[in-house]
């Protein structure tokens, strides 16, 4: 496995003295890492990078880890290992009931956390191996949400980030429909959408660079001035 193929782990913890040393340790173990100090930074990273697993601190200022955990589960995000300083088990139980995959109590042994990371990743099938009936065609492309990719009729494929794949799926759910930025923010970012002023424009631009022959003159995802964006292609099951 090359460095570019190594699973990428997102560490979400407001304590710098935890997230940075943990990131360094996991990189030495062969993983790629992304670091976030709060839920807002975590959401932006999830939109921009392909994350295999999230290590999530429960106690954070602002939006706490349990709220972000709920959002990740609702949006079919990557598996989650919770970090908690609570010894009574209440938060762990709530998190597991929400859909988290495991938890570790602070202070923790990095080797124990590493073992739990490996165990969770072993239980999660590789995206490409997932059989799905949700593949949909638009224009000369087929969207494969399980693999988070787009496959062209000429055989070449492009990888999508989690956020890009989710956004593509929303357009495919609403073909020929004008979706305002506010509506797209609500569908993609949920209640934290206020933190994403230009996230939709940026995500649409990234998608266009991947699927349009001329991103400056898009014909698949078109702009409705004053309205938002519209998928201008027929959608069928692939």
Q: Is the CB of residue 9 less than 8 Å from the CB of residue 53?
A: yes
Nearest to 77 by CA among 20, 32, 39, 133: 39
CA–CA dist 142, 235 (Å, integer): 10
5-30 pLDDT, tens per residue? Answer: 789 999 999 999 999 999 999 999 99
- Asked whether residue 84 carries a pLDDT value surpassing 90, the answer given is no
Identify the CA nearest to 87 among candidates 46, 58, 51, 118.
Answer: 58
The model's pLDDT over 160-205, given as tens digits with 9 standing for 90+, comes to 888 888 899 999 999 999 998 878 877 776 544 444 546 788 889 9
């Amino acid at each position: 496995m090359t460095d570019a193929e190594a699973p990428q782990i997102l560490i979400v913890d407001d304590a710098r003295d935890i997230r940075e040393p943990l990131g360094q340790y996991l990189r030495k173990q062969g993983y790629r890492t992304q670091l976030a100090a709060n839920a807002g930074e975590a959401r932006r990273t999830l939109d921009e990078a392909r994350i295999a697993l999230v290590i999530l601190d429960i106690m954070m200022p602002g939006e706490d880890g349990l709220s972000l955990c709920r959002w990740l589960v609702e949006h079919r995000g990557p598996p989650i290992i919770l970090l908690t300083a609570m010894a009574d088990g209440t938060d762990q139980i709530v998190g597991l009931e929400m859909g988290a995959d495991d938890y570790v109590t602070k202070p923790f042994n990095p080797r124990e956390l590493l073992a739990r990371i490996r165990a969770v990743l072993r239980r999660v099938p590789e995206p490409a191996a997932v059989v799905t009936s949700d593949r949909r065609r638009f224009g000369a492309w087929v969207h494969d949400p399980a693999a988070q990719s787009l496959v062209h009729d000429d055989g070449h494929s492009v990888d999508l980030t989690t956020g890009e794949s989710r956004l593509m799926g929303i357009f495919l759910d609403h073909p020929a429909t004008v979706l305002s930025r506010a509506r797209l923010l609500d569908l993609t970012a949920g209640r934290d959408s206020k933190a994403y002023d230009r996230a939709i424009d940026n995500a649409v631009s990234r998608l266009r660079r991947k699927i349009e022959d001329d991103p400056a003159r898009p014909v698949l995802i078109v702009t409705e001035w004053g309205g938002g964006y519209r998928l201008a292609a027929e959608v069928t099951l692939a």
